[in-house]
A and B are shown apart, each in its own frame.
Chain A
Amino acid sequence: MRVTPDILVVGGGPAGVAAACDIAEANLSVILIDQAPKLGGVLFRNFGDNSRRLLPSDLADTWRNLSGRLTAQAARIRTELQTVFIGMDAAGVVALNNRASGKAYTLAPRAIVVATGAIEYVEPLPGWHLPKVMTAGGLQVAVKESGTPPPGDILLAGSGPLLLAAAAQLVKLGRPPVAVIEAANPPRHAFAALALPLSYLREGGSYLTAMARAGVPWLRGARLEEIHKDGGAFSVVVRRRDKLHRYRADIIALHNGLRPNNIGLPRQNLNPQKGPVVIYAGDCNEALGGRAAALSGSSAAHRLLLALGVKPATEPCRAAADIEKYRKFQKLLAEVFKACPSAEYHLPPDETILCRCEQQTVGDLSIFSARSSLSAREVKLNGRFGLGRCQGRFCAEKTRGLLLMTHRDAPTVDALIGQRWPVKPIPIKDLADLDHEES
């Protein structure tokens, strides 16, 4: 039977790896897990492959530095890949599931760093749930993994800088998208944008240049309203002010921003008397982007060590001040990408799917909310929202957002989902056969 390390780090992106290194450098043993087959997280998982040249150089340096520290601490950091965090139970016991071997086991760490990154948010609109409609980040990941974009014409829509990054990536691979539909009009906020650091502006500039060279239209102040199947492809309706535009594409990639991926996870706890210390790091704590993630991992490690009464290797921790800087940048970006009034989100038609797991629609929600009181329990049990296979990861925020349009006291995402395990579905045979690691 293996012996439980002191600390569990969930997520092997920059935040998790930075936290693991700092903790190991303070002489504690660490188990670092990631559900993916490689470390690196969203940005660096395919570092060293063809994706490398797509990364800005300062980000690449960050990962090179972290990888070096990880190697130096190999004796104290046990890395388990293809391993999913299932959750922490009321006794403070944690379960992990190795997806490759089907083996699940429990352990009882003194503390947990949760660094599970961000998930993309997509506003529900008719057709968003169809096959070949994906998230822009999902498209990026698919491109990174296979080296080429999926076949067919691609349309990008929604809002935010990630759409531009994805478009530029497609241009570089010789497959420019049909168009990029953007709800905001960023050039209008050029003045605010000037307060962003040069590296951000340069990155954005390079994306726009690539798009312009390939003649990719950037339709701003516009909203994708409907996706229809049309033969083997899609035809979509885009509204810009009062005008409707139609496009055809084989693949639609949507994106409306990033959200912390913390649905259902154990709550943060800095008091070891009340069970294992739990700290969130990186985008899972606050979606501030790749540059802030490693800093956030260090800051989390620092707070964790203090909570356990262990002296950190480096003192004092400067990360917090630097993170504040990125928080400011993120706010500026949000301002620059604020939807134009004419392109703001509005209640989609009744037939729009809201919850993919249970095939519940916007219409189902409005019938339910008109006749029932809206406690979180009723929304879930009687409304059938937020309790499918994804455990609300993809519909809880949408459900709350739509309820808020008509009800001021709609339950919060936290009230709908709370803290629960399994964080991801786990086969019964794996749970029935749990191993228990000694501590």
Chain B
Amino acid sequence: MNLAIRSREQYVGLADKGGVMQGAYFSRSTFLAAANDWEVAAMHAQADELSRAGVSLKVTEGSDIQKSIPCLASNISGLVEVQGEGHAVGYKVVDRFLRASGAKVICEASALKLQPGVKSGRGPTVQTSEGVIEADDVVVAAGLGSNALLPWLNLWPRRGQLIVTERRRSVYKLPGNFIFASYLLEKKKADVGQSVDSGSAARACALVIDPLPYDQYLIGGTREEDDDDQHTEFAAVQRILARAVEYMPFLGEMSVIRVFAGVRAATPDGLPYLGQVKEAPGLWVATGFEGDGICLAPLAGDAMARMMAGKDIPPGVEALAPDSPQRKRRES
């Protein structure tokens, strides 16, 4: 959590006038919402954790909830506004960083095999579909694809199905991203490396309603143990949307224009991999960000650059070293 807060601060810095993230990152609040007792409990647990980390919160209860945000149904019984959060548009973030870096991009080139480097000699070599590349340092940041290059990473797929609505002005405007507390539970389950049930009954019990620029909404999402990102199902989407209209009836009138799936890469202990591989000089890993890779991108990139340059790194990052013996492994 502290790393996430730090990363967000970096976004804020980069989004300042003239910064690379201007127009790609916006400050806004996130709302945690709960509709039953166990969701209320999960919401407060999260709020306590945030509060201890120094985040400012605003708790609303009872009928004040609908007074302050009129589009919420009366079954919402708990609401916490997490202030000073932000919205980073994933594809824009990638595009901005890429352009700022000036790096040469070779598209449609698949890394096939890694050859470790030798101590105080040459760095690793990478065999790709477009030829062999030698470098002093190599960072494996291929998401779930990192498994094929370094099988011991043992990354697990967590597919998410998402829904995008048409652009449509409504009398209501959501003041931020709404996370329903069951989502936190579902995500935690993934974080501690527990198996998320891949049976369809368990799909889609986690709900996030995210207002996008231009009056569209992104509604998600499932967490399924599967790596097929072409796989979307009516049944799963129906379950997500049924809950969405239950809590925000005005969404019922909006039309869905797109449904898609993405796959998150989860690690056995729920922490990302970020650091050097000990026995392989010049080999680095940055992956396993599960559902937080956009949020953590500035921190991860900056920390990686610092580690390579031998500079000091933010506290907490050393615990993310990929092959640290303290890290939990999971048998496949």
Chain A residues within CB distance 8 Å of chain B: 89-91, 93, 95, 106, 357, 371-373, 375, 377-378, 381-382, 387-389, 391, 420-422, 425-429, 431-434, 436
Contacts and interface: CB of A to CB of B under 8 A. Distances in A.
A385 to B, nearest CB: 13
B230 A431 contact: no
Contacts of A89: 232-234
A405 B107 CA distance: 21
Nearest to B217: A428
B257 A422 contact: yes
A431 B256 contact: yes
A372 B107 contact: no
Contact of B258 (A95, A387, A429, A434): A387
A436 B234 CA distance: 10
B230 A429 contact: no
Contacts of A436: 235
A381 B232 contact: no
Contacts of A428: 165, 241, 244-245, 251-256
A372 B228 CA distance: 27
6 cross-chain pairs, A with B, having the tightest CB-CB distances, nearest first: A429-B252, A425-B255, A381-B91, A90-B231, A432-B241, A432-B242
Contacts of A371: 99
B245 A432 contact: yes
A434 B108 CA distance: 40
Nearest to A427: B255
B71 to A, nearest CB: 14
Given A90-B228, A425-B166, A426-B256, A432 B244 contact: yes
Given A391-B257, A425-B166, A432-B245, A90 B252 contact: no
A368 B229 CA distance: 27
A432 B166 CA distance: 16
B257 A425 contact: yes
A91 B235 CA distance: 10
A420 B258 contact: yes
Given A373-B105, A375-B107, A382-B95, A432 B252 contact: yes
B259 interface: yes
B255 A421 contact: no
Contact of B238 (A387, A391, A432): A432
Nearest to B236: A89
Given A89-B234, A372-B95, A391 B245 contact: no
Contacts of A378: 95
A426 B255 contact: yes
B248 to A, nearest CB: 10
- Interface-centre pick from A391, A421, A436 (highest chain B CB count, 10 A): A421
A372 B96 CA distance: 11
Q: State the main secondary structure of chain B at its contact with A.
A: mixed
Given A427-B255, A428-B245, 4 more contacts: A382-B91, A422-B256, A427-B256, A429-B245
> A interface, by DSSP: helix, strand, loop or mixed?
loop
B260 to A, nearest CB: 7
Interface string B211-235: 0000000000000000010111111
B167 interface: yes
Contact of B253 (A387, A388, A429): A429
Contacts of B256: 422, 425-428, 431
Contacts of B255: 389, 425-428
Nearest to A421: B259
A422 B167 CA distance: 15
Nearest to A390: B257
Contacts of B228: 90
B92 A427 contact: no
B303 interface: no
Interface in B233-285: 233-235, 237-238, 241-242, 244-245, 251-260
A91 B253 contact: no
Contacts of B92: 382
13 contacts: A91-B233, A93-B233, A93-B234, A381-B91, A382-B92, A388-B257, A391-B257, A425-B255, A425-B256, A428-B241, A428-B244, A429-B252, A431-B237
Interface in B75-98: 91-92, 95
Contacts of B245: 428-429, 432
A89 B166 CA distance: 20
A118 B235 CA distance: 31
Contacts of A433: 242
B9 to A, nearest CB: 26
Contacts of A377: 91
A278 to B, nearest CB: 16
Contacts of A381: 91
Contacts of B91: 377, 381-382
Contact of A434 (B165, B231, B232, B238): B238
Contacts of A387: 258
A388 B166 CA distance: 8
Contacts of B107: 373, 375
B234 A95 contact: yes
A387 B212 CA distance: 14
Residue among A375, A378, A421, A429 facing the most chain B CB atoms (10 A cut-off): A429
Given A428-B245, A429-B253, A389 B167 contact: yes
A381 B258 CA distance: 13
Contacts of A429: 245, 252-253
Contacts of A375: 107-108
Residue in B253, B257, B259 with the greatest tally of chain A CB atoms within 10 Å: B257
Nearest to B259: A421
Of A382, A387, A421, A431, chain B has the most CB atoms within 10 Å of the CB of A431
B74 to A, nearest CB: 18
Nearest to B219: A428
B259 A420 contact: yes
A382 B92 CA distance: 7
B257 A434 contact: no
Contacts of A389: 166-167, 255, 257
A90 B251 contact: no
A433 B91 CA distance: 32
Nearest to B257: A425
Interface in B89-120: 91-92, 95, 99, 105, 107-108
Contacts of A372: 95
Contacts of A425: 166, 255-257
Nearest to A94: B234
A90 B253 contact: no
Contacts of B238: 431-432, 434
Contacts of B165: 428
A106 B233 CA distance: 11
Contacts of B257: 388-389, 391, 422, 425
A436 B257 CA distance: 21
A428 B255 CA distance: 5
B258 A391 contact: yes
Contacts of B258: 387, 391, 420, 422
B230 A90 contact: yes
Nearest to B261: A90
